[in-house]
Structure 1
């Protein structure tokens, strides 16, 4: 079954050219406001953190400034934690979960860690509720040298500026029903390949790094999130989204090889969260809470198993 049976842009077995990318871009619409929903929450943190603009997207540099949130009184003797959200702009709880953690919980953990966060890497995607940027590029497959994705390039430069080594990077994502109904068919159409239907996992899971799994750490995140929402079960093939389940709710990707945000540092501990917001049993706030639980569970693990042994 080909994508083009379902997707209205492009011709069967033919990758998109510029005209198809333009047609796709024209099909998008603004559905919510980054300036009204996200930026005020960032600015509200200015009394607790250093807020810096690390770039602005050329699509509309006034509308889409990019902000980082950094610990005041940065202490090079402390380990550094990187939090990213909204790499896929449509994944709402990644953005608001990161901001909720910073507003409500980071003060407790700053005695142990420096924090730097980029809570909304893709504000155009946030506004249009899209996985891609306006050029039909996925920022979360674009973290590599000389990347054409502005969102990815700016974040890579921000990471290069971080003093010292990042101990942990947590990248906050969602897996939604629209991944299967819209984004995967669009991807197949864009690349001129056949669309193979898949399944959307019902629940939270994490993606660790094939090269550095840290399964005890991943399990600590899962255990923390269990208190907030349900964990995705393995399918009949013992997989989640086509990857083997290596521990409850945990799969692995080769982060750097795939150009994923989770591979932008050489951190010792890294995880990508995947919240499931389309469950009839959860609310938007519970999705945000699940992201917060993932961050706090990860940090509690580091305090218990890393800092106390140093």
Structure 2
């Protein structure tokens, strides 16, 4: 892991950012990859097998980003609904490509068992910048609530609103990276005028359950499937993962709705957030993508059999 910087280069320690610092931060963000060629093209390639929907369009300066979702063709109102989301944090690459891999390789198994709704890249501006925030220095994954300040979050909530009570399972695909500790957590502390306390990055896959409605057997079914593809993160010396108590092997809990997390946007019985570690010497990008796709498969199979 890289050495954590002693201070963040924008702002004054102890003072929250004003619009001046936010603009300074934005000026440092450079486009590093293409949403159109890496994501949109793959979604369009699936159009022969699924219904594609543009559920919103982001406008940031002179840039436009269509927000695209993949739906089961011949949607049946009598079937349960499964929701898959990825790329809420644009830099978490396997969340995006794992969702696309699931759609391409596995989603065809469920036409008579479930309606699938897949939003592979919720935050395309951040995908291109390999960043956690949107251009307003807002974290979409802390912004899933009424009157959200993040248009990425608001658009996804509008998409899901008509079926919110019909969703049986929602899996949200994420990563925990070394840059969480070297860039994104220091930036968050600087933005909010708070001290940065260095932490650790777990080496391996883990899940985040909903502390308000835990489903331990569901979580362990996903862990068991993913472990065949990549390794599970161990607890640290305090029996924690990223500061939260480990409630079962590879599982921690958050109050999803209270934190405004993506996995809180439906009333699904089964909810989970995956966390893959792409910087591990024991995992390749292909393994990370496959781990995400396998996690979705295991979550769907468990849900439909219970």
Give the structure-2-normalised TM-score: 0.97
Alignment gaps of 5+ in structure 1: none
Equivalents in 1 of 2:98, 2:270: separation in Å? Answer: 20
Equivalents in 1 of 2:7, 2:230: separation in Å? Answer: 33
1:141-220 correspondence to structure 2 within 5 Å:
141-162=142-163, 165-220=166-221
RMSD between superposed Cα atoms in Å: 1.3
* Pairwise CA distance, 1:4: 8.7
- How many residues end up aligned between the 2 structures? 303
* Pairwise CA distance, 1:110: 2.3
Q: Secondary structure at the match of 1:236?
A: coil
Equivalents in 2 of 1:265, 1:38: separation in Å? Answer: 25
Q: Which residue of 1 aligns with 2:126?
A: 125
Q: Which residue of 2 aligns with 1:291?
A: 292
Output one character per residue of 1:226-246: Cα deviation in whole Å (capped at 9) or x when no partner.
000000000000000000000
Higher mean C-alpha displacement, 57-66 vs 239-248 = 57-66
Q: Which residue of 2 aligns with 1:231?
A: 232
Equivalents in 2 of 1:101, 1:138: separation in Å? Answer: 25
Equivalents in 2 of 1:237, 1:163: separation in Å? Answer: 37
Q: Which residue of 1 aligns with 2:27?
A: 26
Equivalents in 2 of 1:199, 1:4: separation in Å? Answer: 14
Equivalents in 2 of 1:198, 1:22: separation in Å? Answer: 28
Higher mean C-alpha displacement, 56-65 vs 224-233 = 56-65
Q: Which residue of 2 aligns with 1:113?
A: 114
* Pairwise CA distance, 1:62: 5.8
Pick closer, same or farther for the CA change 1:163–1:191 going to 2, 3 Å. Answer: closer
Check conservation: 1:4, 1:12, Cα contact below 8 A: no
Q: Which residue of 2 aligns with 1:41?
A: 42
Pick closer, same or farther for the CA change 1:155–1:61 going to 2, 3 Å. Answer: farther
Equivalents in 1 of 2:23, 2:62: separation in Å? Answer: 20
Q: Secondary structure at the match of 2:168?
A: strand
Check conservation: 2:164, 2:266, Cα contact below 8 A: no
1:273 equivalent to 2:242? Answer no
Q: Secondary structure at the match of 1:25?
A: helix
Q: Secondary structure at the match of 1:64?
A: strand
Q: Secondary structure at the match of 1:161?
A: helix
Give the structure-1-normalised TM-score: 0.95
Pick closer, same or farther for the CA change 1:96–1:65 going to 2, 3 Å. Answer: same
Check conservation: 2:168, 2:303, Cα contact below 8 A: no
